């Protein structure tokens, strides 16, 4: 076997001699690394057995043959001038005074303080910039302060002298517009005070009104009461339904006295209808109304007599209906009293509706309309006696009591 020539491995070339023949100073002595030259076992495969030859396969297809081969002559390999490589950086860390070691980075202890200082500096800079920007871009709130500045700029600009008068005129128009707006606002406030004049309180006394109701039945359900009500209406009788304590009561008439209620009950019993007389009353009370301060004394007195006038009218109409059921006619004297009291109560009611709100006015106006219809029906009965007019007047009286009661509840709260 041929001898392998010897090699030398170098990581950098030797320093060439200068032209004068001088050699560079030798590098400092470095330790040499020598290879292991001990014998090495050579593993060779044996020949494979022939299939079907009857010979058994050896335990291993490979055997070691150390002595069969001569030892190879190994070259002398010298590795010279191997320098160690240092991966550590000599640049100092910006966060600490020690040199960078190349290991895993660990944040310094003062990093949070450093971040807080940097963030605070950025925030202060942004805030200061915003304030400066607003200071230079904000216009004066008073247009009069801005006009001299504009005029001065126009005078300094030779090309803008022609527009000085125009700019001044625009500023004057704007100031005049603001003055006009202020004047219109003051005028609106003055008109509002005129539209809402000062008022004074007026006390209205509502007397108790006795009621004698003709009851046709009490039902546990509203459906049952509605069914019976339809039967009464087909006969031409007056009906009014109210809910009391979970029950539904059906009323067929109302009177201001017990005698008039008995006369009405006899008319129903003559038609084989069982009825009952239930005594109730509208409670007495007081109502405070806010009337204009400049209202006359006569008008104020009319408003104060409203409650008593309504009670007197209800009483005279109820008496007239009772006379019609008992005698079949109404005297002219009684009819004149009814018309006179109706005119008085209607005049006072109209006075009161002028100082009420919408809801209060609705209930009182409904009561006045029902009473007016009842009086008109009595006039028709006086000219042509027929019980149909009396039944119609009784139904108007029932509706009058219902609306008047709701008005009292709204006024007294």
Q: Rounded to whole angstroms, how far apart are CA atoms 259 and 269?
A: 15
Residue among 350, 362, 347 nearest 411 (CA): 362
Helix (H, G, I), strand (E, B) or coil at 213: strand
Contact 254, 275 (CB under 8 A): no
Whether 313 contacts 370, CB under 8 Å: no
CA–CA dist 407, 117 (Å, integer)? 75
Ordered alpha helix ranges (H), 285-386: 297-304, 306-327, 332-353, 358-383
Distance, in Å, from the CA atom of 81 to the CA atom of 24, rounded to the nearest integer, reads 15
| pLDDT at res. 399 | 94
Residues 6+ apart with CB under 8 A from 391: 236, 237, 238
The DSSP output letter for 31 is -
Tens place of pLDDT for every residue, the chain, 413 residues? 455 555 555 555 544 444 444 454 555 555 555 555 666 555 554 444 444 444 444 444 444 444 444 455 555 555 444 455 454 555 555 555 555 555 555 656 667 777 777 877 888 788 777 777 777 666 555 544 444 544 455 455 544 444 445 545 555 666 666 666 766 666 666 555 555 668 889 899 999 999 999 999 999 999 999 999 999 999 999 999 988 888 999 999 999 999 999 989 999 999 899 999 999 998 888 888 888 888 888 888 888 999 999 999 999 999 999 999 988 899 999 999 999 999 999 999 988 998 898 988 999 999 999 999 999 999 999 999 999 999 999 999 999 999 999 998 888 87
Q: What is the pLDDT of residue 381?
A: 94
pLDDT at 275: 92
Contact assessment for residue 370 and residue 399, using Cβ atoms and an 8 Å cutoff: yes
State the Cα–Cα distance between residues 28 and 78, nearest whole angstrom: 16
Indicate the domain borders of the chain. 203-412
**Of 355, 359, 302, 349, the residue nearest 196 (C-alpha):** 355
Q: State how far the alpha carbon of 382 is from the alpha carbons of 226, 260, 343, 385, in Å.
A: 33, 18, 18, 6
First-to-last alpha carbon distance for the chain, in angstroms, is 132
pLDDT score for 56: 46
Local structure of residue 6 (DSSP, 8 states): P
pTM assigned to the model: 0.54
């Amino acid at each position: 076997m041929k001898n392998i020539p010897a090699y030398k491995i170098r990581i950098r070339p030797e320093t060439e001699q200068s032209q004068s023949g001088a050699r560079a100073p030798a590098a400092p002595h470095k330790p040499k690394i020598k290879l292991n030259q001990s014998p090495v076992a050579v593993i060779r495969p044996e020949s494979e057995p022939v299939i079907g030859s009857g010979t058994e396969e050896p335990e291993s297809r490979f055997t070691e043959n150390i002595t069969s081969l001569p030892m190879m002559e190994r070259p002398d390999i010298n590795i010279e001038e191997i320098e160690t490589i240092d991966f550590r950086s000599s640049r100092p860390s910006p966060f600490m005074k020690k040199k960078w070691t190349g290991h895993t980075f660990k944040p310094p202890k003062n990093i949070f303080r450093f971040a807080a200082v940097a963030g605070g500096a950025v925030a202060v800079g942004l805030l200061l910039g915003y304030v400066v920007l607003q200071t230079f871009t904000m216009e004066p709130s008073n247009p009069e302060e801005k006009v001299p500045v504009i005029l001065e700029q126009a005078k300094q600009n030779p090309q803008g002298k022609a527009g000085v008068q125009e700019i001044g005129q625009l500023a004057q128009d704007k100031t005049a517009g603001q003055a006009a707006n202020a004047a219109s606002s003051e005028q609106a406030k003055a008109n509002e005070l005129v539209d809402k004049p000062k008022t004074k309180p007026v006390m209205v006394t509502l007397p108790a009104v006795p009621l004698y109701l003709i009851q046709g039945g009490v039902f546990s359900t509203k459906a049952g009461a509605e069914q019976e009500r339809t039967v009464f209406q087909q006969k031409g009788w007056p009906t009014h339904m109210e809910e009391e304590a979970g029950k539904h009561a059906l009323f067929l008439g109302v009177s201001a006295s017990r005698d008039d209620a008995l006369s009405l009950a006899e008319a129903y019993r003559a038609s084989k209808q069982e009825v009952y007389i239930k005594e109730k009353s509208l409670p007495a009370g007081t109502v405070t109304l806010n009337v204009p301060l400049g209202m006359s004394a006569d008008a104020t007195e009319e408003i104060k007599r409203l409650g008593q006038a309504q009670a007197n009218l209800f009483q005279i109409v109820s008496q007239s209906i009772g006379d019609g059921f008992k005698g079949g006619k109404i005297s002219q004297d009684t009819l004149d009293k009814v018309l006179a009291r109706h005119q008085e109560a209607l005049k006072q009611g109209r006075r009161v509706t002028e100082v009420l709100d919408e809801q209060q006015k609705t209930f009182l106006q409904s009561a006045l309309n029902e009473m007016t219809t009842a009086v008109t029906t009595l006039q028709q009965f006086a000219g042509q006696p027929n019980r149909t007019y009396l039944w119609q007047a009784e139904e108007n009286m029932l509706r009058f009591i219902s609306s008047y009661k709701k008005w009292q509840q709204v006024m007294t709260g």
